[in-house]
Structure 1
Amino acid sequence: MTPPAPWTPLPDAPAFPATGFAPLADAIGRLLGTSNDVLLLQGEAVVALEAVAQSLGRPGLRALNIVTSMYGRWFGGWLRRAGAEVQDLVARPGQPISLNAVSEALDAAPFDLVAVVHAESAYGILNPLEEIAALARARGALIVVDAVASVGGHRLEVDGLGLDVAVIGPQKSLGGQAGVSALSISPAAWERVAPADEAPSILSLADLRDGWLATGRLALPGTPSALEFHALAATLARVEQEGLAALQARHADAARAARAGALALTGRAWVSPDRASNLVTAAALPPGITAAAVLAHAPAGHTLSAGVGPGGDGLIRLNHTGPRARKDVVLGDLVALARALGALGHAVDLAAALAAAADA
């Protein structure tokens, strides 16, 4: 007789109450500092980003799309597929966008929409969102922000910055799972959203508006995954228990320690502290040493990683996102990096690096 499979609650998760969706949206609104509508979308945040592009993009729309990683490049592609006229403003590989470049692009031509990623986990960089938003607002353009990585790790006040769309996911700084995403949307952005079609689409914000907001937020369209929404509820409850300010401070502390320790080991900073992400620290590698070589010589069990995209082999990422934003994690990553660099012949002073991290 075949023994029964081990019991697991995963396929038998209790139904998520229909009355529970609106409180989740309200909690996300508080995290984002916004009174705008908040939509919940089933699927990883890339689904929400594509839905925004599909719903706002149309023939005649002129978009300035800031590209500092593959995520920005994808967003521009989705806008083009929807018929928009897109100008990609591409930063140097692995670097944040120059504010002067944004200003010059906005001065050179009129745009209806400006899109930007706030914090980039691919390179551990932070784009100057506040200044970009001010430039876009002054020219009457909608502002669309990919805040998937930054929410919880950096201060983000949607209404204070005048952001029209902010897309988030719980799987980064908030420390949750990736099965549900969310976005806030302003009245001005709603005016630009393509109307609902005869056939409903997961990529239609208008369908979500008509199927959820217009019905009093009593039930999400389709068949929501109970397991994913229970996970989101638990994540948001945990964030509220810790406190948003404390969560942001924990990420900032971890980032300062990682940057200080990495600088002591390599002698080079990837970006200045004001343009560095609190989620991932990019350690610029010494000349002649590649990320692939570091990873090949790192001790077993390490969690170091190379950058993603052009220029990524010139840096090593130390991940201190969400539950990893802790002193012991940062120190462990620094030890792993020091051992790899030492094995490659680079002189390292591990004690000094750990002391720099502890002081920071």
Structure 2
Amino acid sequence: MPVLDYALLLDPPAFPAERYAILADRLAALMGTGNDVLLMQAEAVLALEAAATSLARPGLRALNIVTSPYGAWFGGWLARGGATVRNLTASPAKPVTLEEVERALDEGPGFDLLALVHAESASGILNPLPAIAALARQRGIVTLVDAVASIGGHAFEVDRLGIDIAVIGPQKALAGPAGVSAISVSEKAWELLSHGDAPANSMLSLLDQKKLWLDAGRGVLPGTPAPLEFYALEAALDRIEAEGLASANERHERAAAATRNGIRALGIPTWVEEAHASALVSTAILPDTVEAKAFLVAASQKQGADLSAGVGPGAERLIRLNHTGRRAHPEAVKANIAAFSSALKSLGHAADTDSALEATEKAYSDAPANGV
């Protein structure tokens, strides 16, 4: 393999100022929204912290749904700003249930904000966003959704769902750069964000972004933009638009089905049922006789595979098989299953690789022939 000359990435031309607004509009179309879209010059975790910091103030009452460390962080950021936060923590590494959310809303106090993660790559679960968003809408509660592991892999339409603040990043299903993210903000959310304790002169201030970019005509971004990130985002959007968002969602769904067929053919249980599983990552429960660290070391010997440990409480015995973005492809899926099987066998656990790969291929052969 030739050695790449990374010096070619130095001294890039500035990203044209008039194309920032076009990027925001293209992202809005992918998100299915007519709301304002802000471009954040950082990875999506900073965008989430900016949203929490901009919202937080004494008197704000928030129901924060925790299904991974990211949800816990968000609750901490809100509390740091003086908000009254009720953390609704689901069973470890499991999705929250609609009944749990409804009960928490009924118990109150009357919430101003409901925050949750849609799809969790940490444990491969999917929270019941449409039903939760409908509950919040009925009660007039502003909703904030971490959709970083949703866009491009799951149906996610901001306006149809009635989501007030949505945070996305292009680095997962869109297979784009990690150093830029976006936030959509509804009129109702701007009202909640406009308060006397809001941060100012800060990268964490959404009101600053509104004043310095939206209200200034959506030209060049404030600060010193990193042009490579925006050229890469533009290229990722070109690719996803050429494929079609619906096709990209279907490609991830097929990769998920094929992966789980292969896992089950190895005699390994998956973590959650299909209706509550992410389309970007599949999680399998490692047999008790297999040590997780040794398993991952063995799996890493197989070229083309991407297996990793689950993240957060309850995920200690979970193995994640990544089929996100460009990895939502038959060859990457088969590489993951082959590596999983090989690692099991190397540690003395019976595994039929051929049967697992056949089960994986069957998911693709049984799928409609309208894409990969």
Q: TM-score range by the shorter chain?
A: over 0.9
| 1:64 partner letter | L
2:10 aligns with 11
Structure 1 window deviating more from structure 2 (333-342 vs 287-296): it is 287-296
Which ranges of structure 2 fall in alignment gaps of 5 or more residues?
Answer: 364-372
Which of residues 302, 321, 328 is equivalent to 2:324? 321
**What is the CA–CA distance in structure 2 between the aligned matches of 1:240 and 1:141, rounded to whole Å?**
33
Residue 49 of structure 1 corresponds to: 48
Query: Distance between the aligned counterparts of 1:276 and 1:291, measured in 2?
Result: 22
Q: Identity of paired residues, percent?
A: 57
Asked if 1:186 is matched to 2:212, the reply is no
Distance between the aligned counterparts of 1:264 and 1:139, measured in 2?
45
CA distance in 1, matches of 2:61, 2:195: 19
Summarize the alignment of residues 192-207 of structure 1 with structure 2, pairs less than 5 Å apart: 192-195=192-195, 199-207=200-208
Q: Is the 8 A contact 1:68 1:91 kept in 2?
A: yes
SS of the residue 1:335 aligns to: helix
Q: C-alpha displacement at 1:215, in angstroms?
A: 1.3
Deviation digits for residues 137-177 of structure 1, max 9, x if unmatched? 11111110000111101010100000000000010000011
- The aligned amino acid for 2:351 is V
Going from structure 1 to structure 2, the CA distance change for 1:198 and 1:112 (only over 3 Å counts) comes to: closer
Contact 1:68 1:95 in 2 (8 A): yes
The answer to whether the 8 A contact 1:149-1:173 is kept is yes
Alpha-carbon deviation of 1:297? Answer: 2.7
Report what 1:66 is aligned to: 65
Query: Does 1:235 find its partner at 2:236?
Result: yes
CA distance in 1, matches of 2:173, 2:278: 11
Q: Which amino acid aligns with 1:42?
A: Q
Corresponding position of 2:369: none
- Provide the residue aligned with 2:368 in structure 1: none
- Name the CA shift for 1:178/1:198 in 2 (closer, same or farther; >3 Å): closer
1:213 aligns with 2:214: yes
Partner residue of 2:148?
Answer: 148
CA contact (8 A) 1:282 1:316 kept: yes
Inter-partner Cα distance in structure 2 for 1:325 and 1:213: 35
What is the alpha-carbon root mean square deviation over aligned residues?
A: 1.5
Q: Distance in 2 between the 1:16 and 1:237 partners?
A: 16
**SS state at 2:176 partner:** coil
The runs of 5 or more residues in structure 1 that have no matched partner are 1-5
Residues 68-104 of structure 1, C-alpha deviations (whole Å, 9 max, x = no match): 1111011001101111110111111111112211111
- Cα distance in structure 1, aligned partners of 2:297 and 2:10: 39
The alignment status of 1:293 with 2:299, answered yes or no, reads: no
Aligned residues: 355
> Structure 2 length as normaliser, TM-score?
0.92
Q: Secondary structure at the match of 1:17?
A: coil
Q: CA deviation at 1:199?
A: 4.9
Post-superposition Cα deviations, 1:219-262, rounded to whole Å, max 9, x if no partner, equal 21111111111111111111111111111111111001001111
Q: Does 1:161 align with 2:149?
A: no
2:210 maps to a residue whose letter is R
Change in Cα spacing, 1:246 to 1:198, as seen in structure 2 (3 Å) is: closer
Matched AA of 1:321: T
Task: For 1:220, give the aligned amino acid.
Answer: L
Which of 294, 303, 307 is the matching residue for 2:306?
A: 303
Counterpart among 339, 342, 352 of residue 342 in structure 2: 339
Choose 24-33 or 244-253, whichever is displaced more.
Answer: 244-253
What is the Cα deviation at residue 303 of structure 1?
2.2
For 1:284 and 1:124, the matched residues in 2 are separated by 12
What's 2:251 paired with? 250
291-300 vs 161-170, greater mean Cα deviation: 291-300
Contact 2:240 2:248 in 1 (8 A): yes
Asked whether the 8 Å contact 2:200–2:207 carries over to 1, the reply is no
Q: Which amino acid aligns with 1:100?
A: E
Q: Is the 8 A contact 1:266 1:286 kept in 2?
A: no
One-letter amino acid of the counterpart of residue 333, structure 1: N
Q: What displacement does 1:296 show?
A: 3.0
Equivalent residue, structure 2, for 1:262? 263
Give the match for residue 103 of structure 1: 102
**Which AA in structure 2 matches 1:89?**
L
User: In structure 2, how many angstroms separate the alpha carbons of the residues matched to 1:7 and 1:293?
Assistant: 34
Contact 1:133-1:162 within 8 A present in 2 as well = yes
In 2 relative to 1, CA 7–251 (structure 1 residues): closer, same or farther, beyond 3 Å? closer
Checking the alignment, whether the CA contact within 8 Å between 1:266 and 1:284 is kept in structure 2 is no
Give distance in 2, aligned partners of 1:357 and 1:201.
49
TM-score calculated relative to the size of structure 1: 0.95
Q: Which amino acid aligns with 1:143?
A: T
User: Is 1:25 equivalent to 2:11 in the alignment?
Assistant: no
Q: 1:222–1:262: structure 2 CA closer, same or farther, 3 Å change rule?
A: same
For the Cα contact (< 8 Å) 2:268–2:284, is it kept in 1?
no
Q: Provide the secondary structure at the position in 2 that maps to 1:267.
A: coil
